[in-house]
Amino acid sequence: MGHSYGLGNLTVPLLAQGVPLVCGSAPLPHAIAADFARWRPTVFPGVPAMWRALAASDLKLPGLRLGISAGAPLPLEVARAFAARFGRQLRSFYGSSETGGIAYDRTGDAALTGKVGRAMRGVSLTMLGGGRLQVSSAAVLTHGNRRRIGKLGAWVMPDRVTVSARGGVALLGRRGTTVKIAGRRVNLAEVSDRLRRLPGVREAWAGASAGIDPVLGAVVATERSAAELRAALLADTAAWKIPKKLMVVAAFPVTARGKTDTRALQALTFSGPECRHPE
């Protein structure tokens, strides 16, 4: 409960309306199921890593009425697998420490199409160049922030997004860092986006090694082999945009807060063998 997701979705309802709160014993599938069996909570704000593990289990969540996913993008296949397994659609929530809540999936349909819902009440969204999103609301950080829309603070998100004609927000990944590889500029977000679009790929991350002669690398969560991925990329991707170090894993490592552990991915990519298959 020490970051904005837990503070806004758990602590504030407790303080403002007295909503009973169950503090889970551990963020593990069997522990979560045991807490549900004992306490019968009806609302469960979790992170994608939890939902993935629960969807792949044979456990039950008695009493669950509403499951909210935030903290990291909810993969489409996880949303679909959870709905099929538990008969309930997860609701995506998108926000940040600087802005508070931004968008929410009120029906659960957005998560099944790879979106995070529409703008929350009182939130104004403005699309800027390069897929950047500017957020304005009464919750946006104002201390030291000179960006304003009227009297409200405004904040430009580090994510790249699209907003449909009906206001649906879809996350495309972080705005990429451009690195120079062998004299050519490569956008890391573009590389990870291309990998993510390959059939059978659940998640992808791209990075570059340190030093004066950096190497392009990537980690992909998939059951496909690195050779299959390379062959697919060669069909339409420039050679210098294909990662030289291509690691294949069953699932991405996550931090204690359920977000992708990019430091672990960096170490895995540039401290191990050239490619690895799922265990």
Burial class (CB in 10 A: 0-12, 13-18, 19+), 261: middle
Summarize pLDDT for 154-178 with one digit per residue, the tens: 999 988 899 998 899 998 777 767 8
> How many Å apart are CA 106 and CA 6, to the nearest integer?
19
* Per-residue model confidence (pLDDT) at position 24: 85
SS3 assignment, position 167? coil
Say if residue 259 is exposed, middle or buried (CB neighbours under 10 Å; 0-12, 13-18, 19+). Answer: middle
Query: Within 13 Å of residue 244, how many CA atoms lie on the same side as its CB?
Result: 11
50 and 145 in a single domain? The answer is: yes
80-104 pLDDT per residue, tens: 999 999 999 999 999 988 999 999 9
Give, for all 279 residues of the chain, the pLDDT tens digit. 666 777 877 888 889 999 889 988 888 899 999 999 999 999 999 988 899 999 999 999 999 999 999 888 888 889 999 999 999 999 999 998 899 999 999 999 999 988 999 999 999 999 998 889 999 999 998 888 889 998 899 999 988 899 998 899 998 777 767 888 877 889 898 898 899 889 999 889 999 998 778 899 999 999 999 999 999 999 999 998 999 999 999 999 988 777 789 999 999 999 854 444 333
CATH code assigned at 221:
3.30.300.30
Q: What is the DSSP letter of 113?
A: G
Domain boundary residue, one of 136, 151, 172:
172
pLDDT value at residue 76: 87
Q: Out of 154, 172, 190, pick the residue that ends a domain.
A: 172
Report the distance separating Cα 152 and Cα 154, nearest Å: 7
- At residue 140, the pLDDT reads 93
- Same domain, yes or no, for 30 and 153? yes
Please name the residues in contact with 277: beta carbons below 8 A apart, sequence gap of 6 or more. 225, 226, 248
The string of DSSP codes covering 188-253 is: HHHHHHHHHTSTTEEEEEEEE-SSSS--EEEEEEESS-HHHHHHHHHTTS-GGGS-SEEEEESS--
Torsion of CA 181, 75, 157, 216, to 10 degrees: -10
DSSP class of 92: E
Question: How many distinct structural domains can be found in the chain?
Answer: 2
Please give the Cα distance from 148 to 58 (Å, whole number).
Answer: 49
Is 40 in the same domain as 92? yes
41 and 125 inside one domain: yes
Residue range 25-42, pLDDT digits in tens: 888 899 999 999 999 999
Residue where a domain terminates, one of 145, 172, 199: 172
User: Which of 164, 162, 189 lies closest to 178, judged by CA?
Assistant: 189
What secondary structure letter does DSSP report for 175?
A: P
What's residue 274's pLDDT? 46
Tell me, what's the pLDDT at 2?
67
**Structural domain contains residue 158:** yes
Residues 19 and 141 in one domain: yes
Q: Are residues 137 and 160 in the same domain?
A: yes
Residue 102: what pLDDT? Answer: 95
Domain assignment of residue 276, yes or no: no
Provide the domain limits for residue 77: 4-172
Nearest to 186 by CA among 203, 210, 207: 207
